[in-house]
Structure 1
Amino acid sequence: MLRRINVIVWGVLLFIGWNLLLLFFLLGRPPAGGNPDHEQLSREVVKVAEEVETELENQKMLLQEIQEHRGLWRRGKAPAALAGGSRAPAGDRQASDVVLPVLVIGCDRPTIRRCLDKLLHYRPSKELYPILVSQDCGHEETARVIASYGDQVMHIRQPDLSDLRVPPEHRKFQGYYKIARHYRWALNQVFHTFKYQAAVIVEDDLEVAPDFFEYFRALFPLLLEDPSLWCASAWNDNGKEQMVDTQQPEALYRTDFFPGLGWMLLKATWEELEPKWPGAFWDDWMRSPAQRRDRSCIRPEVSRTMTFGRKGVSNGQFFDQHLKFIKLNDRFVPFTQLDLSYLKKERYDLAFPQQVYGVPAVRVEELQRNEQAGLRQVRVQYSTRDTFKAFSKALGVMDDLKSGVPRAGYRGIVTFMYRGRRVYLAPPKDWTGYDPSWS
């Protein structure tokens, strides 16, 4: 990018210099006494001078535009940003020049083009956000699609395409074992071969939001500073359009549930996980207490990814009922300009419970009948696994638990919108921790 800018600048300077020399030459020619061509020459000199003046103004504007965009590229900012929100403290913007690669996990979907097209459309800088496409399966049609992007992406291929030995009862899950193997190989490439400090991982059936890169750029310093965080995710498990506040696309939350589906981790976290990486079902393995170790992720109110991949190892399970209804954010939020320190554990753990337990408690039936409609924020309290599941189903919230942790939950609290009201589905105020038997 900088080389291209330098070429443009030198071209501009040579053009200006040549025209100035021409102008001085013409102005310096002695008039031939009484020559009838002298008046014509004068007109030509004036015309050249006017053209040079116009070109100088054009080149001045071009140089200003180049300078402006070079500043944006260096900061990793999108060309346009919305106003609003508190400005981020200078200390929170310290990592603006760190390269954040996007690792795209692919296999046999030629529709990866949709994923790559959106990534490239919204990517503010090739240098700050290299895109590595890691392909398993050896599917040639998909490989041709990836190759068609030339040097806009880096295409790497998983070398081991062999079947894996799996327990007899897991024979039908061979695909999940291959996915786990591929993730391990690809992440080792990112962190050990290419030596990046962090990575954003997406799968080939994800489409990203306009502020996808801005979102992860802003959260990178937070992962560095807060050891109680181990990932940032673009995904809200309860992110259906009617269940999120689309007027607050800047809202972010801590969650104890690993969301995946567009997520960032640090190299140090990978070095902790890689030696014990599982043979299959890596995402549920990440949700186990032994890996999570009481750490949390950041997730948005409105998802920054959506999935269009019904085809996969799960044979469309869960897609038709849920995934295809997730709302993808369509408004650019200038996250790098906002103060996100409220997400740090010491501040969040003080403010969030006060907010939740400071609103009135209502019964599910009252919500369903839209009683007490004047209450814009309410709490529904559960105390057992069965009541959580019953209330979740009644209100449209995902009711499954992984080692006792509800999807999108933090300290057992799941927040969502229900018929235009903010609802906190929460355990009692004296909650002491997750019960792994709630699964």
Structure 2
Amino acid sequence: MTKNIATSNGTSQEMLLTVPPYSGCHLHVVNPHTGIITLSHYFNLQSPLLDLELTSTLADLRQGRLALLNTYHDATAGLETRARLLLQSHGSWAAPHIRFRDGWAWAWVVGGLTLAEALMTNMDGIYTMTRPLHLQLTLPTHSAERLCSSWPSGGGWEKRHYFCDLYDGYGDLCSCVTPALVPPPPTLKQEWWRENITFIVLAANRPRYLYRLLQQLLTQPGVSPDLVMVSVDGLQEETIRLLELFGLRCFIHTPEGTVTSARISRHLRFALFKALETFEDVDKFIILEEDLILAPDFYSFMQQTSVLLEEEEDSLYGVSAFSHFGSSHTSSDLERLQRVTSFPSCGWMTTRAFLTETLPKWPPAYVTADWDFWMETEVVRGERELVLPEVSRTSHGGVSGSHSGGDLGRWYRDKPLSHLPHTRLNLTAVRRETYEENILEELKRARPLNVSDPFRLVIPINQSAGVWLARVKMNYVEDSSAFRILAQALEVWHADARDHHFGLWRIPYQGVIIFIVGVPYSKYSSLVEGAGQVLHSTPALHAAILNKGLELENMSLEAHQSNDFRHILSLDVEESDEVPD
């Protein structure tokens, strides 16, 4: 991280400071009746969402627990004003006053008084480590009841008593006053319901995220618990006991692979095989991860779009509930769907036929490539595409995760999400022939956009039916540098060239439509020939990005290409398949 340092001549100089590992907040919660630690969690300093994760966790602690919150070296980078004020409202006097490289420890009774608190200010300069902090306290006689006497007897309540005695951070699940019903009462099928669809939930060691997802999933109208299966990666005791409370079908996967990407890939493969074996009469499957947040109309969205996988099985392989290009300035039409060449993410649906075709080709455990990038390749999907919504129906809700930490976590959180219980989707417009006709018609009306300086674009926004066209250099599908520069200028997804339609991106942008066509790769290149200049990736543009304090993540890294996976899987590679230089 960087810090502005005052110099002897009165100027300010930016210095690079090394932040030790595990700098951040450490929370430990103890059951006063048993002395057992019921929650131990580290909140990473590096995450810009530390304050949200911290405050939501504290709000879900059980009344009467003993809690200790402390910092090792520093926590101020992620501890924003809102979090400090909330900590103060819980009884901390020091939270508003913590500064860079101060040491802090606070012990309190959840819902009660502070037991002890200490703040060690760093008087030796920011380049020194914080001095040791010693906190002494006397534990009070526990006054809160160990088990909730107000809970009913029988049923699953004994299991819940046992679970809540061992674990913490579940809010209403363990509330003695307003306990949540687990599982939630069944909901009626709506008029949009078409068929039984199995839910495959992938879980590991984030049970509090899983609890949130299951509560959201099982309260969606028409969702049946007997069609939900959870696959747990490893013998995760807390996760498994939580699933017992819900009475859901559960499978345990023995972890495979030496790196995270391989382990996730093999876990997904295991779960898909189990789903095919277990639900023999089901044709479609929805895959969810434990840290997702579902929109109220998530299941409605999947039920409606399931017909597309039947009618257009030769051109579509799945439906995803998430749009990478969905942002507050690019997403507004809840009814609109789009067809893209991409991989699924954050909640997706596919068919038994596609899984039966794909699973025998799944990469072995020694392959470290992400499964989703592999699925995007023509080796797997062929020429088939994916259906996405303009406005996402899911979002990442986890700060910690293999692909959701740091600034990426904030990007996920800031995306708009559908909030209505049901929206009737425009299925006609996304069918292949109609979709193609509409694209061609809009391209005819598109006016060239001046991209000579992508960071000073002049786009007449909020024009009714305004359509603009930009061309970017793109020799093949992984040749994404020029596109990513323009995407960053438009403040949309720019880490790679995903979610396009044969090399064409259609982006709603503050009331107008912007088409970006990658030339000569896109099949639409000939239709837009001569329509303004082509944006190239140049050293000057890269320098301009850096001067603006921006960064083109992983620009120097080459993405996986289809032939990489062909070689990995020992498939034949035709000379005509080679990617051009």
The alignment status of 1:121 with 2:219, answered yes or no, reads: yes
Partner Cα distance (2:422, 2:381) in 1? 29
Q: Over residues 364-392 of structure 1, what are the superposed CA-to-partner deviations in whole Å (9 max), with x where a residue is unaligned? A: 45995655346343323223134322211
Question: Which amino acid in structure 2 is aligned with residue 309 of structure 1?
Answer: G
Partner Cα distance (1:198, 1:371) in 2? 42
Deviation at 1:427, TM superposition (A): 3.7
In the alignment, what sits opposite 2:348? 263
In the alignment, what sits opposite 1:244? 331
Task: Report SS of the residue matched to 2:486.
Answer: helix
Contact 2:217–2:223 (CA under 8 A) maintained in structure 1: no
TM-score, scaled relative to structure 2 = 0.52
Question: Which amino acid in structure 2 is aligned with residue 372 of structure 1?
Answer: P
1:9-408 to 2 correspondences below 5 Å: 73=188, 76-77=189-190, 96-110=193-207, 111-126=209-224, 130-150=227-247, 153-158=248-253, 160-161=254-255, 163-164=256-257, 171=258, 174-195=259-280, 196-226=282-312, 227-245=314-332, 248-279=333-364, 280=368, 281-314=370-403, 316=405, 319-320=408-409, 322-335=411-424, 340-364=427-451, 368=456, 370-373=458-461, 375-376=463-464, 377-385=466-474, 386-401=481-496, 406-408=497-499
Q: State which of 484, 490, 503 in structure 2 corresponds to 1:412.
A: 503
Contact 1:252–1:301 (CA under 8 A) maintained in structure 2: yes
CA RMSD of aligned residues (A): 2.9
Q: Over residues 77-108 of structure 1, what are the superposed CA-to-partner deviations in whole Å (9 max), with x where a residue is unaligned? A: 27xxxxxxxxxxxxxx8xx5521011111011
Task: Report SS of the residue matched to 1:322.
Answer: helix
Question: Which amino acid in structure 2 is aligned with residue 190 of structure 1?
Answer: A
Question: Which amino acid in structure 2 is aligned with residue 313 of structure 1?
Answer: S
Partner Cα distance (1:360, 1:100) in 2? 44
The structure where helix makes up a greater share of residues is 1
Structure 2 unpaired stretches of 5+: 1-185, 475-480, 526-560, 563-578
Question: Which amino acid in structure 2 is aligned with residue 362 of structure 1?
Answer: L
- Seen in structure 2, the aligned counterparts of structure 1 residues 314 and 428 have a Cα distance that, compared at 3 Å, is closer
- Seen in structure 2, the aligned counterparts of structure 1 residues 349 and 118 have a Cα distance that, compared at 3 Å, is same
Structure 1 unpaired stretches of 5+: 1-69, 79-92, 165-170
Deviation at 1:430, TM superposition (A): 9.5
Task: Report SS of the residue matched to 2:443.
Answer: helix
> Which has the larger Rg?
1
The structure where strand makes up a greater share of residues is 2
Deviation at 1:144, TM superposition (A): 2.0
Partner Cα distance (1:289, 1:197) in 2? 23
The alignment status of 1:421 with 2:421, answered yes or no, reads: no
In the alignment, what sits opposite 2:133? none
Q: Over residues 196-255 of structure 1, what are the superposed CA-to-partner deviations in whole Å (9 max), with x where a residue is unaligned? A: 21100010010111111111111111101102000000000111223212xx21111111
Question: Which amino acid in structure 2 is aligned with residue 271 of structure 1?
Answer: T
Task: Report SS of the residue matched to 2:190.
Answer: coil
- Seen in structure 2, the aligned counterparts of structure 1 residues 390 and 314 have a Cα distance that, compared at 3 Å, is closer
Partner Cα distance (1:175, 1:318) in 2? 20
- Seen in structure 2, the aligned counterparts of structure 1 residues 138 and 382 have a Cα distance that, compared at 3 Å, is same
Partner Cα distance (1:318, 1:189) in 2? 35
Question: Which amino acid in structure 2 is aligned with residue 375 of structure 1?
Answer: Q
Task: Report SS of the residue matched to 1:260.
Answer: coil
- Seen in structure 2, the aligned counterparts of structure 1 residues 124 and 193 have a Cα distance that, compared at 3 Å, is closer
Question: Which amino acid in structure 2 is aligned with residue 211 of structure 1?
Answer: D
- Seen in structure 2, the aligned counterparts of structure 1 residues 368 and 331 have a Cα distance that, compared at 3 Å, is farther
1:424-435 to 2 correspondences below 5 Å: 424-427=515-518, 431-432=522-523
- Seen in structure 2, the aligned counterparts of structure 1 residues 328 and 193 have a Cα distance that, compared at 3 Å, is same
- Seen in structure 2, the aligned counterparts of structure 1 residues 431 and 282 have a Cα distance that, compared at 3 Å, is closer
Task: Report SS of the residue matched to 2:391.
Answer: coil
Q: Over residues 166-216 of structure 1, what are the superposed CA-to-partner deviations in whole Å (9 max), with x where a residue is unaligned? A: xxxxx5xx2222211111111111112321211000100101111111111
Question: Which amino acid in structure 1 is aligned with residue 190 of structure 2?
Answer: K
Aligned residues: 330
% identical aligned pairs: 25
Partner Cα distance (2:393, 2:404) in 1? 24
Partner Cα distance (1:243, 1:353) in 2? 21
- Seen in structure 2, the aligned counterparts of structure 1 residues 304 and 420 have a Cα distance that, compared at 3 Å, is same
